Structure 1
Amino acid sequence: MLRTPAPSSLYGLVDMGSNGIRFSITDLSPSSARSLPTIYQDREGISLFDAQYSTGVKGPIPQETVDEVLISLTKFKTACADFGVFATNIRVLATEATRTAENSADYRRQIKDATDWEVDMLPKEAEGRIGALGVASSFATVEGLVMDLGGGSTQITWMVAKDGHIQTSSKGSISFPYGAAAMTRQLAELSNSPPGHQGHHKSHSPVLSARDLLADKMKAEFRSAYEDLDLPDTLHHKAEHGGLTLYLSGGGFRGWGYLLMSQHRVSPYPIPIINGFCVAKREFQQTAHITTLAAEESVFRISKRRAEQVPAVAFLVNVLVEALPMIQQVRFCQGGVREGFLFDTLDARTKALDPLEAATAQYGTSSAADLAALLWDGLPGVNNLDRSLPQTFTPSFVRAVADMMYLHLPLPKETRSLSALHAPITGVLASAHGVSHADRAILALALCGRWNADVPPPHDNFKARLYAVLTHQEGFWANYLGALAGLVGTVYPAGHVDAKHPRLKFSARWADGLGKKGLSQGVVLTLHCRRDDSMTCSVALNSLVNEIEKVGKKKNRVGGEHGYGVPIEVEIERELI
């Protein structure tokens, strides 16, 4: 049963960005705050940046636009009242477009008169810091460069965020006037200006000449910023050995991410959530193809206005890749000013929580910790046989499986596996902030396997695409963990464990001499069961043991004959435990 949040834990937030206005109500109850669970959200496509250029040159925000903003804010005030949000927990944040507007003071005064809300105008430096914190909120850990692309500006810094501790450059974020809307306007002006006003360049095309001069200027600025940010030794080492990860936030970059998602090798891509989407540099810089795609086709989550900004974002992407060749991987973030502001209110202990575990905690039974410990003991530990578990299989992830493994128990038997498969993608965890795509896919497959049932067409294709976004090793161990959870769920049908008199214990080890011919390395799982318990008698366990061992059969390798799999052998020891 879902918990009803206390009104005191609800926070209403308005993020008045350059490209649009976002409204949200978030539950910051201590148990789940790390995943920033949003219980209400809305957006108005009011571009304060474009509104100031409605006559062709920059002017004040037109009164017509101000009136639209006031209507949207009063609607949100009503929504906050309906949800019971305390007036003291409502904030209005404004960034570049409001800060630089000619009539900023009058605009903010009208908002105050209409809503009784003061507008918090973030200084340029604070905007960059809060935006960076939005990126920190978007992942369990962050280590690399961070960029936020707004409508009027873009900021860059570095970040190392782990275990609740966040380090960024002492210089803060370095800001440039290269937002998606600003760049769109600037490139249009270059195309429309007379040849004599575009400078001289080697190129025979005056338009290309102007663009090349701008690109050269931007490259130099980004290179200089990279040096000025004073990266720590850990990031310098990564830059020189394997490359850095670039974390991107802001509407323009998110639009670019959705376009890349539409062209992913796994098609259609099974996780329609931008936060956590990851691509290699070679995919990130498909600028010509992506620009053509945006101009010619309708793509999920790409509005007409966002499509018009794609050539400008492509220009920026080309500049970035050439200016910062050490970038090798790109991760897209949902987190921006809204998420960063909320994340900044959390204490260090809450920030240190794994966002997936925080999101699933409300669904666990009273014995979830004991169930997680049992499942963890069923996984082989550190090995000496050149075998290992994927890094994604952590105690926090296993706890999330334990939390979720009874959620679908009340459903009809034939729908449990299907509902469980979708739960992390489009179900109850869809809004959980900070969860990686790998974690979502592995959790979906493990929870589906927990119910030991096939899924019907066309969902079998969806399941296959989830496997395809993972490594073969991750897919295999998802199957194993799911089978293990199926056994535990049968032995403990209500999810309650008597810690003094447990029915079941696991121990698992890597071993030689497994497989049909005894020539393979694999896992020996030992079940320590009570002699006198009907839930662990041979009749009760045999089919469940077969399901676990089936995972390790050669025909069930993930990725086909040449994919990944290890033999699984189950031993049963009956004793009084």
Structure 2
Amino acid sequence: MALNTPNAEHLHGLVDMGSNGIRFSITDLSPPTTRILPTLYTSRAGISLYDAQYSSTGSRIPIPDSTINKVIDKLIHFKRTCSDFDVPESNITVLATEATRTALNSEEFRGRVKQETGWEVQMLKKEDEGRVGALGVATSLGEVKGLVMDLGGGSTQLTWLVSDTETGEVKMPEQGAVSMPFGAAALSRRLEEAEKRGADAKKALAGEIKQAITNAYQSLSIPKELQDLAKQQGGYALYLSGGGFRGWGFVLMSQHAISPYPISLINGFCASRRSFLDTDLVTNAATSHLDSEDETAIFRISQRRATQVPAVAFLVTALSEALPHINEVRFCQGGVREGFLFSSLPSETRKQSPVVVATAAHATPGSPHHAALLASAIPPATLPSTGLSIPLITALANLSPHYSSHPKDIRAAAALRSTTTGLLASCHGLSHHERTCLALLLCHRWGGAKDLAATDASFFSSLQSLLSPSTAWWCRYLGCVAALIGAVYPSGRGDESMTLSATWSFSKKKGERMMVLKTSDGKGASLRSVVEEEAEKVEKVGKKKNWIGGKEGGVGFKVEVL
């Protein structure tokens, strides 16, 4: 990333002094990509302010001078880094949470920081910490509707959240969140002490946590819209953030049925209730990781994080007993940094779709027309059942011409990896479902599986396995339609003379349900002769041997292009 930028006034430096570590970041809030919070720089110092406040005998002590000096050294280095990036001094913020807030020498510690760096440390209150963390979750996905938990080192917060994609409003309880002293590091210490005292002490701790979570949930006054949604979907969605929960997610990812799991990012990873609550599976995997001499046995799980897994398992068990039925769990990368920045954005920016924002810079003047054509290639009222969405279709239209400049040998492969290690890998706010769908849509746009080398074919299969057979088929179909549109408009531009319309019908021979895609030019004449090759590829998607799952028992529809 270049150090110079024409939008220095939009650069923001932020320090998040958490309990388990200190995070430094520089974010570019320049429009039009403000919504996805593009990160120019990020770093983490493994300084545990929580652990530093306990002696070898387990007694509470002030933050030692040696630790304070390490923190100040890191802050001074970040100050130089901000200067290198031309971050305005007025745009640099230092936030502190539980460990600093409760330190015996908190005032002295913050005074030293002010003296050495000139920066005032902003203390987040318990409720504000939960509110900011919840807003961080809101940045992590295009839409959030459910319960939210943030697991830090010293505390955990519980709240509910509804992000309205129509208005950009983010609704949560007036009190923000309920904070409980059960962070990953804090709970690890308490669990260790309880185990030394015996089974009764451990049982008492479990009861204390369960009761605290129950009381927290009851105090939140869950709105009727969330209650109704939970009834409709068979339970609440639970959104998790914070290092402790993300560690749990990475272990679940390592044990996933699709192995190796094809997406390395934790943000947007979704787990079923059953797998999330399988504490034995996660704990055993973490134990094996600790016993292994290979530090990369489980991706993104440090030895320290692995030692905290039993405590997180203890908390997860309490969650399962205290909270109402949870239908699914979604892991989020967004935390204090993202939430603090998001809180300053106007509603018009908040309501934007991350996948559309991320691809808009690559759009051509013809992209809106191409998006309309793609949408019209799906029969009326069918879109909700496809697993796709208007934002995904818009993103496909925006990126459809992008890989035309690549050598033909790698177009499909580059498109396939665009959302995981390629063009959109760093985009914040996409779910794994969106990354998978867009990757497959673009891959099929540029030839699909038949144009992939062996090394990419296995990755293609793993990605496709993350989707339902129905959604995978629609990705294949719409990707081929995008290729058809591209044949008419190879530059991504051109007038709006082409129209598409799709309807459901029945085949003449067997009376099977089929889709008819009609092409026409500005005068109503068919374009079939102009795009014969591409039209045949669309029809091939509808042949039973090409259905997802194969000819016998596969999923798909016959397609006829007129």
Give the TM-score category using the shorter length.
over 0.9
**Structure 1 CA distance, aligned partners of 2:192 and 2:301?**
21
Residue number in structure 2 paired with 1:510: 504
Residue number in structure 2 paired with 1:37: 38
In structure 2, the CA distance between the partners of 1:355 and 1:532, relative to structure 1 (3 Å rule), is: closer
2:184–2:308: 8 Å Cα contact kept in structure 1?
A: yes
Residue number in structure 1 paired with 2:454: 457
Alignment of 1:131-280 (within 5 A): 131-163=133-165, 164-193=168-197, 207-240=198-231, 242-280=234-272
**Structure 2 CA distance, aligned partners of 1:472 and 1:405?**
23
| SS in structure 2 at match of 1:148 | strand
Residue number in structure 2 paired with 1:566: 557
Tell me the alpha carbon deviations over residues 229-288 of structure 1, each in whole angstroms, 9 at most, x when there is no partner. Answer: 111112223445511111111000000000001111111111111111111111001111
2:194–2:205: 8 Å Cα contact kept in structure 1?
A: no
Tell me the alpha carbon deviations over residues 397-422 of structure 1, each in whole angstroms, 9 at most, x when there is no partner. Answer: 11111111122222111111101100
**Structure 2 CA distance, aligned partners of 1:559 and 1:80?**
53
**Structure 1 CA distance, aligned partners of 2:21 and 2:491?**
47
**Structure 1 CA distance, aligned partners of 2:494 and 2:387?**
26
Letter in 2 for 1:188: E
1:30–1:350: 8 Å Cα contact kept in structure 2?
A: no
In structure 2, the CA distance between the partners of 1:448 and 1:291, relative to structure 1 (3 Å rule), is: same
Q: Return the offset for 1:389.
A: 4.7
Residue number in structure 1 paired with 2:354: 355
Match status 1:471 vs 2:468: yes
**Structure 2 CA distance, aligned partners of 1:374 and 1:169?**
42
**Structure 1 CA distance, aligned partners of 2:360 and 2:229?**
34
**Structure 1 CA distance, aligned partners of 2:469 and 2:36?**
28
| SS in structure 1 at match of 2:503 | strand
In structure 2, the CA distance between the partners of 1:391 and 1:519, relative to structure 1 (3 Å rule), is: closer
Alignment of 1:388-537 (within 5 A): 389-390=384-385, 392-453=387-448, 454-499=451-496, 502=497, 504-513=498-507, 517-529=509-521
Residue number in structure 2 paired with 1:12: 13
**Structure 1 CA distance, aligned partners of 2:378 and 2:395?**
15
**Structure 1 CA distance, aligned partners of 2:6 and 2:375?**
31
Tell me which of 276, 286, 294 is aligned to 2:278. Answer: 286
- TM-score, length basis structure 1: 0.91
Deviates more, 1:558-567 or 1:443-452: 558-567
| SS in structure 2 at match of 1:381 | coil
1:16–1:93: 8 Å Cα contact kept in structure 2?
A: yes
Residue number in structure 2 paired with 1:342: 341
**Structure 2 CA distance, aligned partners of 1:154 and 1:213?**
19
**Structure 1 CA distance, aligned partners of 2:55 and 2:371?**
58
**Structure 2 CA distance, aligned partners of 1:448 and 1:239?**
35
**Structure 1 CA distance, aligned partners of 2:146 and 2:6?**
35
1:389–1:477: 8 Å Cα contact kept in structure 2?
A: no
Q: Return the offset for 1:552.
A: 1.0
2:519–2:527: 8 Å Cα contact kept in structure 1?
A: no
Letter in 2 for 1:260: L
| SS in structure 2 at match of 1:452 | coil
* Residue ranges of structure 1 left out of the alignment (5+ in a row): 194-206, 572-577
**Structure 1 CA distance, aligned partners of 2:371 and 2:524?**
24
| SS in structure 1 at match of 2:507 | strand
In structure 2, the CA distance between the partners of 1:240 and 1:452, relative to structure 1 (3 Å rule), is: closer
| SS in structure 1 at match of 2:130 | helix
Q: Return the offset for 1:78.
A: 2.1
**Structure 1 CA distance, aligned partners of 2:68 and 2:212?**
35
| SS in structure 2 at match of 1:525 | strand
In structure 2, the CA distance between the partners of 1:372 and 1:220, relative to structure 1 (3 Å rule), is: same
Letter in 2 for 1:94: A
Tell me the alpha carbon deviations over residues 189-237 of structure 1, each in whole angstroms, 9 at most, x when there is no partner. Answer: 11234xxxxxxxxxxxxx2221111111221221122211111112223
**Structure 1 CA distance, aligned partners of 2:459 and 2:5?**
32
Tell me the alpha carbon deviations over residues 350-379 of structure 1, each in whole angstroms, 9 at most, x when there is no partner. Answer: 111111111111111132212211221222
Tell me which of 68, 85, 91 is aligned to 2:87. Answer: 85
**Structure 2 CA distance, aligned partners of 1:123 and 1:287?**
32
Match status 1:114 vs 2:113: no
Q: Return the offset for 1:532.
A: 12
Q: Return the offset for 1:88.
A: 1.4
**Structure 2 CA distance, aligned partners of 1:459 and 1:480?**
20
**Structure 1 CA distance, aligned partners of 2:172 and 2:369?**
38
Residue number in structure 1 paired with 2:327: 328
Residue number in structure 2 paired with 1:200: none
Q: Return the offset for 1:555.
A: 0.7
Q: Return the offset for 1:172.
A: 2.4
| CA-based RMSD | 2.1
Letter in 1 for 2:364: T
Q: Return the offset for 1:113.
A: 2.6
**Structure 2 CA distance, aligned partners of 1:28 and 1:562?**
49
In structure 2, the CA distance between the partners of 1:77 and 1:390, relative to structure 1 (3 Å rule), is: farther
In structure 2, the CA distance between the partners of 1:218 and 1:450, relative to structure 1 (3 Å rule), is: same
Residue number in structure 1 paired with 2:71: 69
In structure 2, the CA distance between the partners of 1:41 and 1:266, relative to structure 1 (3 Å rule), is: same
Residue number in structure 1 paired with 2:375: 376
Letter in 2 for 1:22: R
| SS in structure 2 at match of 1:46 | coil
**Structure 2 CA distance, aligned partners of 1:36 and 1:562?**
44
| SS in structure 2 at match of 1:141 | coil
1:15–1:22: 8 Å Cα contact kept in structure 2?
A: yes
Q: Return the offset for 1:335.
A: 0.9
| SS in structure 1 at match of 2:50 | helix
| SS in structure 1 at match of 2:210 | helix
**Structure 1 CA distance, aligned partners of 2:143 and 2:203?**
37
Tell me the alpha carbon deviations over residues 291-349 of structure 1, each in whole angstroms, 9 at most, x when there is no partner. Answer: 11111122100001100100000000001001124112111111111111111111001
| SS in structure 2 at match of 1:302 | coil
In structure 2, the CA distance between the partners of 1:435 and 1:328, relative to structure 1 (3 Å rule), is: same
1:530–1:536: 8 Å Cα contact kept in structure 2?
A: no
**Structure 1 CA distance, aligned partners of 2:490 and 2:195?**
68
**Structure 2 CA distance, aligned partners of 1:147 and 1:287?**
18
**Identity fraction in percent:** 49
